[in-house]
Amino acid sequence: MLAAFLAACSSDGSSLSASSSSRPPAADDDRTPGGAVTFTPAPGTQGFDPLGSVSVTVTGGTLAEVTMTNNEGRVIPGIVTPDQLTWKPNTALGYSKTYQLSVLSRDDTGRQGEHASTFGTVTPDNLTKPALVTTGGGTLADDATYGVGLVAVVKFDEPVTDRAAAQRCLSVQTDPQVEGQWSWVDDQHVHYRPREYYPSGTAVTVRADVYGVDLGNGLYGQEDVAVSFVIGNSHVSIADDNTKQVTVFDNGALVRTMPTSMGRGGTETVNGQTIHFWTQRGIYTVLDKANPVIMDSSTYGLPVNSRLGYRQSINYATRISNDGIYLHQLESSIPQQGNTNVSAGCLNLNPDNAQWFYNFSVPGDVVEVRNTGGDPLQQWQNGDWSVPWDLWLQGSAL
């Protein structure tokens, strides 16, 4: 009776169709419980870039729970998309770490799936930490004010073999926009200067985003560093040996004229080393200042007890070179200031002028020395602005 009923009802197929539609489709039976989960990087990956893309994605379900931990048991925070289909960590990964991902997914039938993955990040051969400094070695400070001739320096604490890779990590943002370029001095120092002096009021941000980057031969950046500062008023001083005067300009206006006595010239040979006593011509910048500073001739090879040696405490000393050239107070040379050069290379000033210049100056202010004898200022001495722009560009690795 039941068989006859089915046979009679199946003549047009409509009742058979209705009956088969009441069963779950075959495809539903074959789905992975909780959906299919994809890991990036693939499970088992080693030597992974700690800045590389890490994600968990589900198809045919949603992510109910994702936990990422490293081999030290630290939980790595992450975010999931609003549709709960993708999860990503929201912090950079570490070097030489093993990471485990544990995932719980759920499909639209309520079934759950458990999934896991493990991968490892790259192990550097060595790390280098960059520092953002001036050409005099002083740390560039956030929110500080610097002069229009400031040269920013990235100093690596290890030699960099892939200069191009390192330079691609470096950036300088200015407001307003200013043309400038990086130029390598050696494998640990790269300098940045604009083509012309910065306009007063320029906001500057310098960044070295080296973390996760192979800088050559397995040397990786240890951490990212950045600093933001502003350029102050245009302070440009000109020391002219023809007049023995230092003329000081503030935003183009002459604000002070100071008699000076500069390097007397000539040389002295001590223990096979030739020491000169010129104030070398060229464009310097203010590096730092101290009151007082101990000046010791032995620091550049001239023994204190030699014929021309000295060691004395000097007030209101503003340093402009890496080999010890200052504008500073020296009362004993006041009779010669403005007419005769008698110093070992510094620019002597009377107490009133030395104190005024000390208070007026900030790192990066420009001091140009003109018409002196001897060799011109070299870059290592703080002579970045004495390098012609076309030669400066040749120092770029890009």
Q: CB–CB of 121/95 below 8 Å?
A: yes
DSSP state of 386: G
Strand 145-146, strand 225-231: pairing:
parallel
Tokens of 95: 């070097």
Which residue bears the tokens 């040389």? Answer: 267
What pTM does this model have? 0.85
Q: Which domains are present in the chain?
A: 31-120 (2.60.40.3780), 126-232 (2.60.40.3710), 235-382 (2.40.440.10)
328 is catalytic: yes
Distance CA 378, CA 382 (A): 7
**Nearest partner of 230 among 170, 176, 271, 185, judged by Cα:** 176
Tokens of 379: 């870059």
Q: Which of 115, 169, 235, 346 is catalytic?
A: 346
Respond yes or no on whether the N-terminal peptide bond of residue 25 is cis (omega within 30° of 0): no
Distance CA 164, CA 180 (A): 17
- Output the pLDDT for position 9: 32
Q: CB–CB of 322/286 below 8 Å?
A: no
DSSP state of 332: G
**Nearest partner of 293 among 270, 308, 310, 268, judged by Cα:** 310
235 is catalytic: no
- Output the pLDDT for position 1: 33
Q: CB–CB of 163/395 below 8 Å?
A: no
- Output the pLDDT for position 305: 74
Task: Please list, in sequence order, all residues whose beta carbon lies within 8 angstroms of the beta carbon of residue 96, skipping any fewer than 6 positions away.
Answer: 121, 122, 123, 124
- Output the pLDDT for position 298: 75
Mean pLDDT by 10 residues, the chain (398 residues): 32 30 43 93 97 97 98 97 97 97 96 97 98 97 98 98 98 98 98 98 98 97 98 98 98 98 89 87 98 84 74 94 96 98 96 98 98 96 97 98
- Output the pLDDT for position 250: 98
DSSP string, 238-285: EEETTTTEEEEEETTEEEEEEE-B-B---EEEETTEEEE-----EEEE
- Give CA 114 to chain center in angstroms: 44
The continuous run of DSSP H or E covering 19 comes out as helix 14-21
Q: CB–CB of 252/361 below 8 Å?
A: no
The continuous run of DSSP H or E covering 228 comes out as strand 225-231
